Amino acid sequence: MSRVRGAEQHSATYYFLIDYVFPSLWYGTNIAIIYMSFKYFALVFGSLGLLLTIIAVSATAGLGWLVESGNVGAALMAPAFVCEPGDWERLAGGGGGGDGRTGNKASTSLTRSESMSASLGDDDSLPGISVLKPLCGVDSMLETNLETFFQLEYPEAKFELVFSVTEATDPALEVVRSLMVKYPKVHASIVVADPQVGYNPKLNNLIVPFDRAEFDLCLCSDSNVYAEPDLLTLFASEFDDDVGFLHQMPVVSKPGSWGAWLEYTYVNATILPMFIVGTLTPFPCVWGKSFAIRRSDVNSPHIGGLASFGNCIAEDLAISTAMHAMRLRVKLMRRTVVQRLGVWSFTQFWERSTRWLKYRKAMGVVMGGFTLEWVFYGPVIALFAGLSWAWLMGGSFVLPALSAFALLGLLAYAFVRHIDNTLAGPPSPLRFAASWIAVQALLIPMWITVMLSRRDLQWRGKAITLAPNSHLPVKKER
C-alpha cells in the first residue's frame, strides 16, 4: 500500500529540529534583524514588538493559571466550561481532602480506564474509535482523501466511520456511498441531520454523529484530511488517561494550482511557525483539522455535551479550553496530518486567509495581538532593517532590505522542506520563491482589509457575523 513518508518514525533529533530549532530560528531571526539593525524610528517598533511579546506571554500565562484554577469570569469564557472549587473532586469521585490535583488524576485514570475497557473487544490493547467525518459539498480530491480512511490498518471490529451532512441533497453523499460499496467490510454509516443547536455550522454537523457514536473515543477529522494507514493506532497509543484533547499539526501538500501554491506557502511558512510557538504557551493552542476527544469527557456534567459549544465558531479552541479547565492535558501529536490541496483558486485562498485573520482579530490580545501583527510581517521587517542600516551606515536602504527579505525567504524554505516530507517531495525552489514573495506582498493588504472590515464572513456558503469581545461566538446567521 502506498504510504506517505510522514508515516515513518523519525529520530528524536528530527523532532527536536521541527519542534524547537526551526521555529526558534524563524522568530529569532526576525527579532535579531529588528533589534540589531533598528535605531531611532525603527527601534520604536522593535520596542513595541517586545512590549507586545511580554504582554502576550503574561496574558496567556495568567489566563492559563485562571483556567486551571477555575476562576475565569464570563467575559473570557462561558461559566459552564469552568470548574468551581471542589467540583472536580465530585466529578471524578475522588472524595475529600488534598488540593484536588493529585487525587483527581488518580480518580480520573480509574474512571477513564474503565470507560476504555468497556469499548474493547477481543484485543484489549486497542480501544474502539469512532471516526467522525463532517462533510459539506465536494472538495478538491475529496474521494481520494476519504478513501484513505477506508484503508486504515486497524481491527475492523474496533473502529467505525461516520459521515455526516446537514442536507440529503449534499453531493458528498454520492462519493461516500460509492466508497461504501467498494469497501463493504468497513463499518461505515451516513448521518443526515441538522439539529441547529447553535450558529456554528460545522458543529451542527457533528452533534448527531457524536451522540450516536459507537465508541467513547472519537476522532473528528475534516473532509480534506489524508489519512495514513496507521493513524488510528497512533491516536490510540498517544491518548493517555490524563489526555482530554489530542490533536495533530496539519501540513498542506501537493498544490495543483497557483491559488493552491499561495495556500501552501501561507500555511506552511507563515501560520505553522506561529502555531508551534503557540503550543509552547500555557494556554491551549490547537488546530481542529484532526483531533480526538472522549464522549464521556464532553458529556460530563462539567461540560454538558457537544451542544454547549454551539455558538463557538472556533469549536476546537473552545473544546480544548474546556478540557484544560478539567485539568486534562491538551496534547499535540508528534505525527503531522497531511492535507492535500489539489486545485485552488485565488479567491479560495483569499477568502480562507482573511477568515482566519478575522478569527484572530475577534480573539484579540488573548491570542496574541492582531493589531500589531503586521510589525512581524516579512516585508515590514525587511524595510525596517534596510532603513535602519542606511541610517547607521549610510547609502541606499534597498540592498540591505532585499538581503534581509532573502534571508527570511531562505529560512522559510528550509522550514517547509522539513515539515513537508511526503511522497510529493520537497517544494520546487522557484515555485516556492514565487509563491512566498506573492504571499508576503499580500499579507499587509489582507491585514488592512480585515482591520477595516466588519465581522461578517462566509463559511461554505453560510453568512455569519462574529460577536465582539469573546472567544468567537457567532452573533447571528443571515
Decide if 241 is catalytic: no
Range of the domain at 132: 77-345
Is the domain of 200 the same as that of 291? yes
In angstroms, the Cα distances linking 387 to 17, 238, 345, 393, 445 are: 33, 49, 36, 10, 21
Q: What angle do CA 330, 334, 336 make, to 5 degrees?
A: 100
Q: DSSP letters of 22-78?
A: HHHHHHHHHHHHHHHH--THHHHHHHHHHHHHHHHHHHHHHHHHHHHHT---TTTS-
Query: In 3D, which of 200, 211, 419, 231 has the Cα closest to residue 316?
Result: 200
- With respect to residue 31, please indicate whether it lies within any of the assigned structural domains: yes
Q: What angle do CA 145, 148, 149 make, to 5 degrees?
A: 105
- Tell me how many domains the chain contains: 2
The number of residues making up the chain comes to 478
- With respect to residue 72, please indicate whether it lies within any of the assigned structural domains: no
Phi-psi region of 339 (alpha: psi -120 to 50; beta: other; left: phi over 0): beta
- With respect to residue 351, please indicate whether it lies within any of the assigned structural domains: no
Residue 265 is placed in which grid cell? Answer: 506557502
Is the domain of 106 the same as that of 52? no
- With respect to residue 352, please indicate whether it lies within any of the assigned structural domains: no
Is the domain of 336 the same as that of 404? no
C-alpha–C-alpha distance, residues 434 and 342, integer Å: 18
Is the domain of 82 the same as that of 44? no
Is the domain of 225 the same as that of 86? yes
Is the domain of 16 the same as that of 91? no
Boundary of a domain, candidates 315, 345, 375: 345
Is the domain of 311 the same as that of 446? no
Is the domain of 92 the same as that of 46? no
Domain CATH code at residue 329: 3.90.550.10
Boundary of a domain, candidates 319, 345, 371: 345
pLDDT in tens for each of the 478 residues of the chain? 333 333 344 444 544 454 445 555 555 555 555 555 544 455 555 455 445 445 544 544 443 443 333 333 223 333 333 333 333 233 333 333 333 333 333 333 334 334 443 443 446 688 999 999 999 888 878 899 999 999 999 999 999 999 999 899 999 999 999 999 999 999 999 999 888 787 778 888 999 999 999 999 999 999 888 888 889 999 999 998 899 999 988 888 888 889 999 999 998 888 887 777 777 767 777 888 899 999 999 998 888 888 888 777 778 888 888 888 888 888 888 788 888 887 889 998 998 888 888 877 766 544 445 666 777 788 887 887 777 777 767 777 788 888 888 888 888 888 888 777 655 566 788 899 999 999 999 998 998 888 887 766 666 666 666 665 444 444 444 3
Catalytic residue chosen out of the listed positions 139, 170, 216, 316: 316
Is the domain of 272 the same as that of 169? yes
C-alpha–C-alpha distance, residues 337 and 76, integer Å: 30
Boundary of a domain, candidates 345, 371, 391: 345
Which single residue is written with the C-alpha cell 464572513?
A: 457
- With respect to residue 449, please indicate whether it lies within any of the assigned structural domains: yes
Is the domain of 191 the same as that of 247? yes
Q: Helix count (H) and strand count (E) of the chain?
A: 17, 13
- With respect to residue 220, please indicate whether it lies within any of the assigned structural domains: yes
Is the domain of 56 the same as that of 82? no
Is the domain of 61 the same as that of 87? no
